[in-house]
Structures are given as structure tokens and as C-alpha cells.
């Protein structure tokens, strides 16, 4: 794939990637709030893609490009150090222990993400499932490519200032209040 910046009509200052955007509320709100940023957004759920496309059209957003297949395939195609920011917000929790291996945060996916994120680039992971919060934090810190930015509890238990609540988040389906982990490459 060519440099992702060339996918946009005007060369964006930064390129962000959102993985598993659901209905795309966060994608369209961030795209509107950050018109100089190009947003690549990935979702496999057709109704979610359709909802996001209709938001893009309604808001006349020019800075979003959608990928309608597995985000892991997109990540593998992206050039090294081409993404400034990654959002993984409320990924499928796979609550049963025997399904935890299906969770997207795995060492090989962290290898792939660390390849495409620019030095100093950011990763945000949010969940409302305790076992996923624990597992993701442990896996990301053990992996070592991303430094956790929190210095006090409010840094992860309060929504970051630039956070936009997602549809899934508002359903409160998890077993804890949402946590937001911000990392830097």
C-alpha cells in the first residue's frame, strides 16, 4: 500500500487508525473535530459500515477512508511508521476464558501495530470488561513497544478530554466502569 496520506484528497497532517468502529460515532466525531487529520477506519459489520457512511455523507466529511475487512489485514498492508494514532475502543470482549485467544490484543498484533505506528505515536485502548483490561494492560506492557502514559488512577478511569463516547460504551454491558489506557510508541 502507498503511504496512507496519499489516500486523502489533501495531504493530512497526521493519519489515525480506528479498529472495530461499530457504528462509527467516534470516527465521524473525531473526523469533524480534526479536519486536518486523515482517519482510516476499519469495521467488518455491514450495518456499522452503512451507518458510518451515512454519517460521513451527512457531515460531508472528506477526511475518512473505510476498510471493510479484518483490521489485521489492513495493518499488515500499511507501511512502517505511517500511522500517528490508533484507537481500539471497546473491542469484542470474548468474555469466556476459552475464547480469550480471539481477543485482538495479542503479541503478534502488537508487533504489527508497533511496526506501523510512528515513533512518539499514540495508542488508545478502552474496555469495560475487567479481564480484558487486565489482560490488555499486561500484554501491552510486556510487549514493550508502547509506554503507558498514566501517572495516577484518574488518567485511566476518567474519559480522556478528547474522548467521544461510543455506542457500545453507552450500553454499559461490561462488568466494570470503562477504562481508557493511553500509550505512546
Contact set with ligand SAM (CB under 6 A): 19-22, 42-45, 48, 70-72, 89-92, 166-169
Our CB check for ligand SAM shows the closer of 27 and 120 to be 27
Closest contact distance (angstroms) between CB of 71 and ligand SAM is: 3
Query: Which positions are annotated as active-site residues?
Result: 92
C-alpha–C-alpha distance, residues 179 and 150, integer Å:
11
Our CB check for ligand SAM shows the closer of 169 and 182 to be 169
**What is the sign, positive or negative, of the torsion defined by CA atoms of 177, 178, 184, 185?**
positive
Q: What is the DSSP letter of 90?
A: S
Our CB check for ligand SAM shows the closer of 21 and 181 to be 21
Closest contact distance (angstroms) between CB of 8 and ligand SAM is: 20
Q: Which residues contact 94 (CB under 8 A, 6 or more apart)?
A: 100, 102, 103, 132
Run of H or E residues at 181 = strand 179-184
Q: Using alpha carbons only, what angle is made at residue 133 by residues 117 and 79, rounded to the nearest 5 degrees?
A: 15
Closest contact distance (angstroms) between CB of 74 and ligand SAM is: 8
Amino acid at each position: 500500500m502507498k503511504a496512507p496520506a496519499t489516500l486523502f484528497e489533501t495531504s493530512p497532517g497526521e493519519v489515525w487508525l480506528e479498529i472495530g468502529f461499530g457504528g462509527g460515532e467516534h470516527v465521524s466525531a473525531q473526523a469533524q473535530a480534526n479536519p486536518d487529520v486523515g482517519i482510516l477506519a476499519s469495521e467488518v459489520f455491514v450495518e456499522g459500515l452503512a451507518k458510518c457512511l451515512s454519517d460521513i455523507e451527512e457531515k460531508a466529511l472528506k477526511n475518512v477512508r473505510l476498510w471493510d475487512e479484518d483490521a489485521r489485514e489492513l495493518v499488515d498492508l500499511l507501511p512502517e511508521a505511517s500511522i500517528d494514532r490508533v484507537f481500539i475502543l471497546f473491542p469484542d470482549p470474548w468474555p469466556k476464558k476459552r475464547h480469550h485467544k480471539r481477543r485482538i490484543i495479542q503479541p503478534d498484533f502488537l508487533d504489527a501495530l508497533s511496526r506501523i505506528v510512528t515513533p512518539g505515536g499514540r495508542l488508545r485502548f478502552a474496555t469495560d470488561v475487567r479481564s480484558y483490561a487486565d489482560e490488555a494492560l499486561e500484554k501491552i506492557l510486556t510487549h514493550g513497544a508502547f509506554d503507558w502514559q498514566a501517572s495516577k488512577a484518574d488518567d485511566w478511569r476518567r474519559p480522556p478530554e478528547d474522548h467521544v463516547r461510543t455506542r457500545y460504551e453507552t450500553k454499559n454491558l461490561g462488568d466494570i466502569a470503562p477504562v481508557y489506557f493511553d500509550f505512546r510508541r
